[in-house]
Amino acid sequence: MEVGGREKMNRGEQGFGIVVTFCIMFLFWLILSGVFDAFHLITGGICSAIVTLISHGLLVKGRGERVLPKSLRLLLYIPWQLWQIVLANVDVAYRVLHPKMPINPRVIEFETSLRGDFALATLANSITLTPGTITIFVEPGKGKFWVHALAKEHADAHLVDKTMQGKVAHVFMEW
Amino acid sequence: MLVVDVTVAILLTIGMFFMFIGAIGLLRFPDFYTRLHATGKCDTLGEGLIIVGLIIYHLFHYPGTPLVTVKLLFLIIFIFIANPTAIHALVKAAYRRGVKPWRWGEGRR
């Protein structure tokens, strides 16, 4: 996904990104290997360093603003999202098993106030996982979404109610 | 232990039920986009439930290796991130290629 927010990072922020990425990679190695002798620790350190060299710019982009409250809000958002996934599955199961297959697909588009990379990706994935909708396109500059909806009520959930957009905007503090 | 086994069996059954629904949806739905609705969503929850069942089973039957449950947990997280992303990529590619969405009243494709 191509988005703005690609300002030149200064040295301090880059160093911060490298340290955070290395710590995450090394922790991940420890969890996956589960062996804590010298050989495995050193190998893990080398591998984490290589991964960090290649991809530190991907994971952490600068220091970010208000990371802690955003993470907390994201944690609160996830249970709601899980419940939406359950609803989505029951809904699809109903439509699949119904003899007449009550679907009336359509493509809708709407604009949101979101601009950040992570916020847009979260909303796109949330839309795909919630009842009857799949994200087709995202236009980052305008925060515009094209969505394929399985039936009219699913489309209305995004065109009229806008519950999810509000929740994601709340999580990432972008109104 | 019986309670654990029954819980695991229920979770696995529900998970398999949703995977099964996904397969039926793949066969019944009329076009590419609607089929992805069925497979994408049902796979996500189905796999999630099956892995949760496996985690509970492992925790109670093999408490000596707790790291395995952490790995399974990672699997769930990655599936929940990768699955919607993959669906989105497929749909986007199809839409770019000009695959027309099915409308109510048209024949099956």
Q: Is residue B14 part of a domain?
A: yes
Closest-CA distance, B64 to chain A, in angstroms, reads 12
Q: Is residue B109 part of a domain?
A: no
Closest-CA distance, B92 to chain A, in angstroms, reads 5
| Start-to-end Cα distance in chain A | 21
Cα–Cα distance between A5 and A3 in angstroms, integer? 6
- Across the interface, whether the CB atoms of A150 and B37 are under 8 A apart is answered yes
Q: Which residues form the domain of B34? A: 2-96
Q: Is residue B55 part of a domain?
A: yes
Q: Is residue B106 part of a domain?
A: no
B36 touches chain A (CB under 8 A): yes
Nearest CA in chain B to A96: B25
> pLDDT tens digits for chain A (175 residues)?
334 444 455 666 777 778 888 898 899 898 888 888 889 899 999 999 998 888 877 766 655 667 778 788 888 888 888 888 888 888 888 888 888 778 788 888 888 777 777 788 888 888 888 778 888 888 877 778 888 888 877 777 777 767 777 777 877 776 5
Provide the number of structural domains found in chain B. 1
Nearest CA in chain B to A34: B67
Answer whether B49's CB lies under 8 Å from B32's CB.
no
The pTM of this model reads 0.78
Q: Is residue B44 part of a domain?
A: yes
Q: Is residue B67 part of a domain?
A: yes
Q: Is residue B101 part of a domain?
A: no
Residue type, A50: I
- Complex ipTM value: 0.79
Which residues of A lie inside 8 Å of B (Cβ-Cβ)? 31-32, 34, 85-86, 88-89, 92-93, 95-97, 101, 103-107, 124-126, 128-129, 132, 134-137, 146, 148, 150
The pLDDT tens digits of the residues spanning B61-106 come to: 888 888 888 889 999 988 888 888 888 888 888 888 877 777 776 7
- For chain A, domains (ranges, CATH) are 11-59 (no CATH), 67-172 (3.30.70)
Distances A50 to A26, A55, A60 between C-alpha atoms, Å: 11, 9, 16
Q: Is residue B87 part of a domain?
A: yes
- How many residue contacts between A and B have a Cβ separation below 8 Å? 96
The pLDDT tens digits of the residues spanning A81-106 come to: 888 888 888 888 888 888 877 878 88
Q: What is the CA radius of gyration of chain A?
A: 20
